[in-house]
A = this chain, B = another copy of it.
Amino acid sequence: MTPYSPITGDIRKQIVEGLGAERIVSDPGRLKDYEEDASGLRYAPELVVEAESVAHIQTLLALANRYRFPVIPRGGGTGLAGGCLAASGGVILSLAGMNQIRSIDPANLLAEVEPGVITATFREKVREKRLFYPPDPAGMDKSTLGGNAATNAGGPACVKYGTTRDYVLGLEVVLPDGNLIRTGVKTRKGVVGYDLTHLIVGSEGTLGVITALYLKLIPSPQDVACLAAVFKDLRTGLSAVSEIMGRGHLPSAVEFMDPKCLALVGDLLPFRIPGENATLLIIETDGIREQIAKEIEAIGNVCLEIGATHLLPAPDRESRARIWDVRRQVSLRIHESTPIYMAEDIVVPISRIASLVDALPAFEKAYDLRIYAFGHAGDGNIHLNFTAAAREDAERMLKGVVEVFKLVIEMEGTISGEHGIGEAKKQFLPMELPRESIRIQKAIKEAFDPNLILNPGKIFI
């Protein structure tokens, strides 16, 4: 296949003619924003366009196919895997401006939105109608619904409610060849042809440009109850998680942080941490007010029974916000504490979390690293933040990451629970996926995008 063309003066001129000069970003400050996401990677695109219509996207893709240059769809730029970066050059296609909520339909528990709608804004708008859109990725104040679908974003609520995939009923998508299709249904069910919707969800912008989403909503839970619990060590804390879920409780969040994380944020708690091995759980339940008040009490009792040293109930909005701030501060303080870090988000079966975390000190020693573990104990999705003393340690750190990934795969886990592969992790893909699986996935990519112009080089090497 011919190599990618640079964006020549002539191509640029045709893009300007086709889309309008006002669609091209030229302000240097704003251009800088498009060089990065939350992965730490950085690539300067050759051109950035901000689409406002399907026609803009189709015009751009027609030119990309004619001259063969990469087009990289982008939402809020909050991704952690570099999926929206111009790693092979080409044109960044921002969808952030297509941000209308077309409809919220309480009778049918359905919404139709454009891809640039901010996740948190949407959650707020549906809440006003006493409805609920559960996916709550950490970056939701900036992330877009289109980007969430492209990466199948998760969040703490997954343990009860599932990931973005579970709320996308259908899509409007511009295929790489420029054709606009609708996938899926506007109803709760449907089995008509292949499930293109769920193939495109999580495909990280490589199979099509999402121009609208039909989202499933559910009735809003009346209220939320929250508590934090401290345990003398991680195994005890995690056995409380098993016990809580084993008794039939299904919390709407079950977060944990390991002793290293807790030591970083212990000053935010209203009591002294009981020793250097102490670990913290944050548990929420949602539903009908009286029921969840009883349920969180029962969960608190299980924690005490298993050996919690401190319980911190959060009966109101303010105390709940304070607990979640402790959780949020973990990432920030890890990043402040180190000149270099890699944020991984592996998943292991719930019963293996403790074994995995117990195994980390050996890797820390062998590769001279610090590895912080926190995240979603309820579904086994652990954020591992690898840090080292100096920027020069990057190569050694990477070796440590690879060894930890090997252990995760041995434990029947996966190397990414919610961040995706994008650019940052594609070198590791063959560790998890067999050759034949990658082959068939590449064949699907070629069926959608014979000229390989849409977000090329992502996911697969």
Contacts and interface: CB of A to CB of B under 8 A. Distances in A.
A429 B158 CA distance: 34
Q: How many copies of this chain does one complex carry?
A: 2
Contacts of A429: 192-193
A193 B433 contact: yes
A166 B151 CA distance: 18
Contacts of A242: 107
**Top 10 A-B pairs ranked by shortest CB distance?**
A443-B447, A188-B379, A198-B198, A189-B417, A107-B351, A190-B414, A187-B347, A108-B349, A179-B436, A219-B248
B192 A433 contact: yes
7 contacts: A107-B349, A107-B350, A107-B351, A151-B191, A182-B434, A188-B379, A192-B433
A454 interface: no
Contact of A199 (B158, B195, B421, B443): B195
Contact of A380 (B187, B245, B249, B351): B187
A417 B350 CA distance: 33
A437 B193 contact: yes
Nearest to A460: B193
Nearest to A151: B191
Contacts of A445: 194
A387 to B, nearest CB: 24
Contacts of A380: 108, 187-189
Interface of A: 105-110, 130, 151-152, 154, 158-159, 162-163, 165-166, 175, 179-183, 185-196, 198-199, 201-203, 207, 218-222, 242, 245-246, 248-250, 288, 291, 347-351, 376, 379-381, 412-421, 429, 432-434, 436-438, 440-441, 443-448, 459-460
Given A108-B351, A181-B434, A437-B193, A188 B447 contact: no
B187 A413 contact: yes
A297 B189 CA distance: 28
Contact of A185 (B180, B186, B194, B414): B414
A441 B195 CA distance: 9
A460 B194 CA distance: 10
